Chain A
Amino acid sequence: MPRKQPIDTEAPAPLERRPALLVYLLLGIAFGVVLTKSEVLSWFRIQEMFRFQSFRMYGIIGSALATAALSVALIKRLHLKSASGELISIPPKVLGSGIRYAAGGTIFGLGWALTGACPGPLFALVGAGVTVILAAVLSALFGTWFYGWLRPILPH
């Protein structure tokens, strides 16, 4: 067991009143459909992106980001409340030394290109019938667990 060292636990905010889980199930189904129909879960598309041979993935990520940024700005401007009644807020990520973002990001990037999938697409691929991806999911769980174990001694 690595040596313990206090690090801020970026736990998600607790929720007092939450909408029926059915809402999240339906949103998840929609997400899986979009990931599949847009082909962003395809290893081929990820290769096309990392080889800069098509605008498609950049168009998808760019327009997704623009849509999300516009929505977030609007939500903040209008001081919208969520369906559960609380004021919508986005907790800022702690920068720290930034090492966790650079190193963790690079490690994830290696895995993204090799599996051709980020975490969402991994699960959509299993649903889409690429069953060997179950082994990748299991391995990803080992990876996350290993990080949790090493966390006290890793630079953040």
Chain B
Amino acid sequence: MNSMSVWGSDAWPWYVAGPLIGLFVPALLIAGNMLFGFSSNLRHLCAILAPGRVEFFRYDWRRQGLWNLVFMLGTLIGGFLAVHWGAPHDVAISAQTKSSLARLGLHDFSGLAPAELFTWRVLLTLRGFVSVVVGGFLVGFGTAYAGGCTSGHAISGLADFQLPSLIAVLGFFAGGLAATYFILPLLF
């Protein structure tokens, strides 16, 4: 891989991407003593949109979460910019993964997410609904219950050697493996 392809159209190698992601922890701490954690934004959005009488959503979201909501908006813009930077390409997953997914019943390996699961056209099929709607619900419920997601626990929390984060990350993998091996096969 030459230096052009590292920054151009191909996926950045792991040893470039990983440290860059890790640097968001000190960057946010130094910028404003803020702890890198993305899922709080789901809570802030609930607090803005529909706090109701739920105590969990009744706090000053501007004061506590505006910085993170702005970060979130940036993340969305960043995703837009990144796909328009460099030539589009398929995600180069291993041949082994391709054959595992093909055995499952997946045929289209183009794009960032498989069109057979993640298009509006299949949203109301069993597999589309479970992948998008049920999956999304579990992400929202689980991160709020666990008090963090991959950024808050697997990166920020573990980087500070916090035991709760280790328990959460073990849970992430237990859940992920269960969904991969027991739920996904039921969808095809």
Contacts and interface: CB of A to CB of B under 8 A. Distances in A.
User: Is B one of A's binding partners?
Assistant: yes
Interface of A: 1, 4, 9-15, 18-19, 21, 23-51, 53-57, 59-69, 71-72, 74-75, 80, 82-84, 86-95, 98, 100-120, 122-133, 135-149, 151-152, 154
B23 to A, nearest CB: 6
Contacts of B74: 24-32
Main SS class of interface, A: helix
Contacts of A135: 123, 132-133, 136
Contacts of A26: 74
Interface in B114-135: 114, 117-120, 123, 128, 130-135
Contacts of A140: 42, 136-137, 139-140, 143
A106 B159 contact: no
B151 A18 contact: no
Contacts of A9: 55-56, 59
Given A93-B164, A118-B151, A113 B21 contact: no
A100 B147 contact: yes
Contacts of B22: 63-68, 71
Contact of B97 (A44, A89, A149): A44
Contacts of B171: 101-109
Given A82-B29, A104-B171, A133-B118, A72 B160 contact: yes
Contact of B139 (A43, A112, A151): A112
Residue of A54, A120, A126, A141 with most partner-chain B CB within 10 A: A120
Contacts of A66: 18-19, 22
